[in-house]
C-alpha cells in the first residue's frame, strides 16, 4: 500500500497473513521514485503476541529506523477503519505505542517518552543535550531515532540541503541524526523544516515534529502543546505525563502488487 501523512509518504507491506520483510536490496529498489514506487520510509505490519500489531520501519537507503510517527498513524487509521476499532496497541522497536481515533478523520498516536539520556539518543560522548557543542546551539533528543534541533529566526533562509546533509553525519551522532530547523511563532505554534536521516528533506515527519516540540518546551520557548506547521500541513503535538502525543491527518493512496517481472529484474 502507498500511504502518506501530510506528504510524508510510505510504502506499507502487510505481512499479517505471513511472509518475510523485504531484503535491503529490494527496499532500496522500491524506494527509487523513478524505477520503483518511492517513499520516505517503508513499513511492515505483522501479527504480534504482545500487542495488536508489530510494525517495523526502514529508510530509503535500507537502514532501519526504530520509529516513524506518521507511518504509525497511517497504519493505525487503516487498521481502525478495517476493524471498526477506535484504539490499537502497536509494538515498534521504540516500544509499544497507543493509537486512537481523534475524530473528524484524524488519528492520534502516543510516541512514548522522549529519550533524554545521551547514551540512549545515542551521542558519542557525555555533553549537555540541551546545548550541544555545535555551532547554532542545537538540542539533542531521542524519539526512537536521534534528533538535532536548531532554533532560528527565519527557517526559510536556511539552505536545508547543505545544512541537513552536513549535520546528519556529525561525529557527535554515531548513528547519524535527523535535523530539525525550527522557527518559534508563539508559545503554542512553531514552523518546522525537516531533514530526515537516510532520506533527506521531507514534507512532514512525526518523530521530527515530536522532537522539535519537546526541544522547544525544554528551552522554555513554547508550552508543551504546540501546533507544528510543516511543509505538508499541520500536526498537533502534546507532551503529556504519559508520553508525546501526535495528532493529524492521514491518507491511504492506493493498494497494489509488485509484478513478477519487476521483482526479477
pLDDT tens-digit readout, 175-227: 999 999 999 999 999 999 999 999 999 999 999 999 999 999 999 999 999 99
Instruction: Calculate mean pLDDT across residues 79-100.
Output: 96
Assess if residue 97 is contained within a domain: yes
User: Is residue 18 located within the same domain as residue 68?
Assistant: yes
Binding site: what residues are annotated? 8, 41, 59, 69-70, 145, 178, 196-197, 206-207
In a domain, 129, yes or no: no
Distance CA 244, CA 143 (A): 9
Confidence of residue 82 (pLDDT cuts 50, 70, 90): very high
Residue 116 lies in a domain: no
Are 106 and 196 in the same domain? no
What is the structure's pLDDT at 125?
98
* Residue 152 and residue 106 share a domain: no
Q: Which residues are catalytic?
A: 68
Dump pLDDT digits (tens) for 12-53.
Answer: 999 999 999 999 999 999 999 999 999 999 999 999 999 999
Q: Report the number of distinct structural domains present in the chain.
A: 2
Describe the crossing of helices 206-218 and 69-83 by its angle, rounded to 10 degrees. 120
Q: What is the pLDDT of residue 57?
A: 97
Same domain, yes or no, for 107 and 6?
yes
Residues 13 and 101 in one domain: yes
- Based on the domain organization, do 105 and 149 belong to the same domain? no
Label residue 252 by pLDDT band (50, 70, 90).
very high
Residue 186 has what pLDDT? 98
Residues whose CB is less than 8 angstroms from the CB of residue 64 and which lie 6 or more positions away in sequence, other chains included:
56, 57, 58, 93
Binding-site members for substrate are 8, 41, 59, 69-70, 145, 178, 196-197, 206-207
Long-range contacts of 47-54 (CB under 8 A, 24+ apart): 47/16, 48/91, 50/91, 50/96, 51/89, 51/90, 51/91, 51/96, 52/79, 52/88, 52/89, 52/90, 53/16, 53/79, 53/88, 53/89, 53/90, 53/91, 54/90, 54/91, 54/92
Non-local (6+) Cβ contacts of 36 within 8 A are: 29, 30
Specify the CATH number for the domain of residue 230: 3.10.310.10
Residue 177: predicted pLDDT? 97
Residue range of the domain that includes 175: 139-241
Examine the domain organization and report whether 145 and 85 are in the same domain.
Answer: no
> Cell match 506518521: residue?
70
Q: How many CB atoms lie within 10 A of CB 113?
A: 16
Model pLDDT for residues 145-177, shown as the tens digit of each residue: 999 999 999 999 999 999 999 999 999 999 999
Instruction: Please give the mean pLDDT across all residues of the chain.
Output: 97
Q: What residues pair up with 176 in beta bridges, in sequence order?
A: none
Q: Are residues 102 and 182 in the same domain?
A: no
Amino acid at each position: 500500500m502507498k500511504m502518506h501523512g501530510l506528504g510524508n509518504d510510505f510504502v506499507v507491506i502487510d505481512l499479517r497473513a505471513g511472509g518475510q520483510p523485504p531484503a535491503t536490496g529490494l527496499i532500496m529498489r522500491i524506494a527509487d521514485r523513478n524505477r520503483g514506487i518511492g517513499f520516505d520510509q517503508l513499513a511492515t505490519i505483522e501479527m504480534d503476541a504482545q500487542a495488536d500489531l508489530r510494525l517495523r520501519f526502514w529508510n530509503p537507503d535500507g537502514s532501519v529506523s526504530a520509529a516513524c510517527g506518521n507511518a504509525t498513524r497511517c497504519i493505525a487509521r487503516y487498521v481502525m477503519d478495517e476493524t471498526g476499532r477506535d484504539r490499537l496497541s502497536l509494538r515498534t522497536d521504540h516500544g509499544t505505542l497507543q493509537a486512537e481515533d481523534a475524530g473528524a478523520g484524524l488519528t492520534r498516536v502516543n510516541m512514548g517518552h522522549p529519550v533524554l539520556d545521551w547514551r540512549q539518543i545515542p551521542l558519542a560522548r557525555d555533553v549537555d543535550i540541551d546545548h550541544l557543542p555545535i555551532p547554532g546551539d542545537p538540542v539533542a533528543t531521542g524519539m526512537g531515532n536521534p534528533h538535532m534541533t536548531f532554533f532560528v529566526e527565519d527557517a526559510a533562509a536556511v539552505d536545508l540541503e547543505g545544512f541537513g546533509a552536513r549535520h546528519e553525519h556529525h561525529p557527535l551522532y554515531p548513528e547519524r541524526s535527523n535535523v530539525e530547523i525550527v522557527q518559534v511563532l508563539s508559545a503554542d505554534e512553531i514552523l518546522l523544516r525537516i531533514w530526515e536521516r537516510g532520506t533527506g528533506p521531507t514534507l512532514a515527519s512525526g518523530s521530527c515534529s515530536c522532537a522539535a516540540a519537546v526541544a522547544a518546551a525544554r528551552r522554555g520557548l513554547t508550552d508543551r502543546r504546540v501546533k507544528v506547521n510543516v511543509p505538508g500541513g499541520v500536526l498537533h503535538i502534546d507532551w503529556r505525563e504519559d508520553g508525546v502525543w501526535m495528532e493529524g491527518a492521514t491518507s491511504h493512496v492506493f493498494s497494489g502488487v509488485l509484478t513478477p517481472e519487476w521483482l526479477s529484474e
